[in-house]
Each structure stands twice: as C-alpha cells, then as structure tokens.
C-alpha cells in the first residue's frame, strides 16, 4: 500500500492576491501559519456578510473598533 505524502512533500500553494474589502488595497494571503495575519495580535472572525480577508491596516482598525464595543 503506498504511503500518503506528508505535508512537507506537498508544495505550498502560491499566495492568493486579494483586494481588501475595507479600502481596496491589494495584498497577499497564504492561508497558513506563515501568513502575515498569523503574526497579528488580533484574530477576528471573517465577517458574516461573506467578505474576504482585510489588509493589515484595515484588520488593525477593525480590531481597535471591536475592543471599543
């Protein structure tokens, strides 16, 4: 029976190029622990209106706003 490849055998997909729903800035997302957002102190759920990720600046602003409410 052949063994399944481990995660280290599988190449990582290229980063996704996204447009921030908050400000329209283009940014990248690797959707893994190496993504820029994993280093951010605030981790917010994705909005319920099916909007994709926010850019670093908008994520930080959304985190500030959620702490105030």
Report the C-alpha gap between 30 and 14 in whole angstroms: 7
Other Cβ atoms closer than 10 A to 51: 11
As a whole number of angstroms, the distance between CA 68 and CA 27 comes to 26
Tokens of 43: 């981790």
pTM for the model stands at: 0.65
Asked whether 22 and 61 are in contact (CB, 8 A), the reply is: yes
Q: Which residue has the higher pLDDT, 20 or 8?
A: 20
Strand partners, 19: 26
| Average pLDDT value for residue range 50-67 | 82
């Amino acid at each position: 029976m052949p063994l399944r490849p481990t995660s280290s055998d599988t190449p990582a997909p290229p980063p996704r190029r996204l447009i921030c729903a908050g400000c329209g800035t283009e940014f990248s997302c690797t959707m893994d622990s190496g993504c820029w957002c994993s280093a951010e102190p605030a981790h917010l759920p994705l909005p319920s209106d099916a909007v994709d990720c926010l850019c670093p600046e908008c994520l930080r602003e959304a985190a500030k706003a959620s702490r105030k409410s």
